[in-house]
């Protein structure tokens, strides 16, 4: 494998006596789009600010292109950054905002004008050059902030929750635009978010963070389908968790809510009598039987939420409610609360959390 473009090695950060980042390690390939995903206060922004040079690590090293940049000042790093609050200069026009970094670097007027025009075309706002930030929508301001960050041709792009101040529709369209611009330029990017859907939809890889540590780093498919820890399993997507006791380890049966469930090939390393948590995504569970589903539980419809294309159903199983999603089908009436039912799933889809 080629050397990583960005390498964060054993980085730690303390504020006073409080350590907020613990032995953080991450290698990012050139051109990769990596998200830091985690709850508020887990240290995402602090790691990003150390890469940008706004915070100094208490320990560890940060390398870009094989060169140690840990002690370089922000303006020596050639890194572009976009913040949550658009942070445009209110007294400068759009063109002046985009050209700001080039002007500070001493570029010629002709070069600045050419680059500003290129950037306005890239973000599809060619008519906006002479406007002021207050004359733009939030989404447009954030696109200008992106153009301003990209204008000096940085080696690395850092995005700190750039979409969280925008309304839902703009957020989705802008995240797609950011991703397509990132691919077009091939620029290595780190994107901080606490929104799991956002991270799943645009990242090559996600670093899920909790308590100042990277809990798991992997592609969205891997993070969602094979969460490495209980935290990742719960934080990313909706998850049903059922406590069970192994009734026969060799036969692969677990007692859940007073019913025996067969879990072929899932109990390696478990012994009869062990307690386990079994986790299942709503979309892995069917109402009634389904081909390929080798496990089932009896229950009762407790709640039905019509969400349009999907119906989310809660089924009571031995005092516990299990959420499942069924696709809406206009010729099949929705389930009725109080009806007895059976839910089924494939034992292959069960995550066993120890
Ligand atoms: P959010 O999504 O809320 O921004 P985050 O995951 O980005 O959260 P950080 O902003 O990195 O989290 O903060 C991590 C921890 O470090 C928090 O407990 C925060 O209070 C603390 N912290 C951050 N900056 C400072 C500082 N300058 N001085 C003291 N504590 C700080």
Question: What domains are defined for the chain?
Answer: 6-235 (3.40.50.300), 240-353 (2.40.50.100)
pLDDT at 201: 95
Query: What span, in angstroms and rounded, lies between the C-alpha atoms of 267 and 276?
Result: 10
Kindly report the protein residue whose alpha carbon is nearest to atom 10 of ligand 1.
45
192 Cα to the center of ligand 1, angstroms? 13
Query: What span, in angstroms and rounded, lies between the C-alpha atoms of 115 and 147?
Result: 10
Residues, the chain, total? Answer: 354
> What pLDDT, in 10s, does the model give residues 218-259?
999 999 988 988 899 889 988 898 888 999 888 888 998 888
> What pLDDT, in 10s, does the model give residues 105-117?
899 999 999 999 9
Measured CA distances, 258 to 242, 244, 297, 319 (Å)? 12, 9, 10, 10
pLDDT at 2: 67
41 Cα to the center of ligand 1, angstroms? 5
294 Cα to the center of ligand 1, angstroms? 46
Query: What span, in angstroms and rounded, lies between the C-alpha atoms of 350 and 165?
Result: 37
> What pLDDT, in 10s, does the model give residues 109-147?
999 999 999 999 999 888 889 999 999 999 999 999 999
Query: Looking at residue 229, what DSSP letter applies?
Result: S
pLDDT at 196: 93
13 Cα to the center of ligand 1, angstroms? 10
The answer to whether 191 touches 202, Cβ cutoff 8 Å, is yes
Kindly report the protein residue whose alpha carbon is nearest to atom 26 of ligand 1.
15
Q: Which stretches of the chain are assigned E, i.e. beta strand?
A: 6-15, 18-28, 33-37, 59-64, 67-68, 79-82, 156-160, 188-193, 205-210, 213-218, 240-248, 253-256, 259-262, 275-280, 285-287, 295-306, 310-317, 320-327, 340-345, 351-353
pLDDT band of 328, cuts 50, 70, 90: confident
Nearest atom in ligand 1 to the alpha carbon of residue 21 is 14
Ligand 1 pocket: which of 39, 46, 165, 215 to mutate (most atoms within 8 A of CB): 46
Kindly report the protein residue whose alpha carbon is nearest to atom 15 of ligand 1.
41
Closest CA to 209 of 225, 189, 188, 223: 223
Query: Is pLDDT above 80 for 354?
Result: no
> What pLDDT, in 10s, does the model give residues 13-47?
999 999 999 999 999 999 999 999 999 999 999 99
Ligand 1 pocket: which of 11, 13, 45, 164 to mutate (most atoms within 8 A of CB): 45
* Residue position matching structure tokens 């940060």: 62
Query: What span, in angstroms and rounded, lies between the C-alpha atoms of 233 and 228?
Result: 7
Query: Within 13 Å of residue 212, how many CA atoms lie on the same side as its CB?
Result: 13
Starting at the edge strand found earlier in the chain, the sheet holding 240-248 runs 259-262, 253-256, 240-248, 275-280, 351-353
pLDDT at 1: 56
Query: What span, in angstroms and rounded, lies between the C-alpha atoms of 253 and 266?
Result: 9
pLDDT at 260: 87
Structure tokens at 60: 């560890």
pLDDT at 165: 84
Residues lining ligand 1, CB < 6 A?
Answer: 15, 20, 38, 40-46, 194
Query: Is pLDDT above 90 for 318?
Result: no
């Amino acid at each position: 494998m080629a050397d990583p473009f960005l390498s964060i090695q054993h980085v730690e950060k303390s504020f006073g006596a409080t350590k907020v980042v613990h032995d953080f390690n991450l290698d990012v390939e050139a051109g990769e789009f990596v998200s830091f995903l985690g709850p508020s206060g887990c240290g995402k922004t602090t790691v990003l600010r150390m890469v940008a040079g706004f915070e100094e690590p208490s320990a560890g090293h940060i390398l870009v292109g094989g060169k140690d940049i840990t002690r370089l000042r922000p303006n020596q790093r050639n890194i572009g950054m976009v913040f949550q609050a658009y942070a445009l200069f209110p007294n400068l026009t759009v063109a002046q905002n985009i050209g700001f970094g080039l002007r500070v670097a001493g570029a010629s007027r002709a070069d600045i004008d050419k680059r500003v025009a290129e950037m306005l075309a890239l973000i599809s706002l060619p008519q906006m050059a002479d406007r002021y930030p207050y004359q733009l929508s939030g989404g447009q301001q954030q696109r200008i902030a992106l153009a301003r960050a990209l204008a000096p041709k940085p080696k690395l792009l850092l995005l700190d929750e750039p979409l969280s101040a925008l309304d839902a529709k703009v957020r989705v369209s802008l995240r797609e635009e950011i991703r397509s611009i990132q691919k077009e330029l091939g620029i290595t990017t780190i994107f901080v978010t606490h929104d799991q859907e956002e991270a799943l939809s645009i990242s090559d890889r996600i670093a899920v963070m909790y308590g100042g540590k990277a809990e798991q780093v992997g592609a969205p498919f891997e993070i969602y389908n094979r969460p490495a820890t209980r935290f990742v399993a719960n934080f990313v997507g909706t998850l049903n968790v059922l406590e069970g006791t192994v009734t026969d380890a060799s036969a692969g049966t677990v007692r859940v809510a007073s019913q025996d469930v067969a879990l072929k090939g899932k109990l390696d390393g478990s012994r009869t009598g062990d307690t386990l948590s079994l986790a299942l995504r709503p979309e892995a569970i069917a109402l009634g039987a389904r081909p390929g589903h080798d496990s089932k539980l009896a229950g009762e419809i407790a709640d039905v939420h019509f969400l349009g294309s999907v119906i989310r159903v809660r089924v009571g199983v031995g005092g516990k409610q299990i959420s499942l999603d069924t696709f809406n089908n206009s010729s099949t009436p929705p389930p009725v609360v109080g009806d007895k039912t059976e839910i089924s799933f494939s034992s292959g889809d069960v995550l066993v959390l120890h």
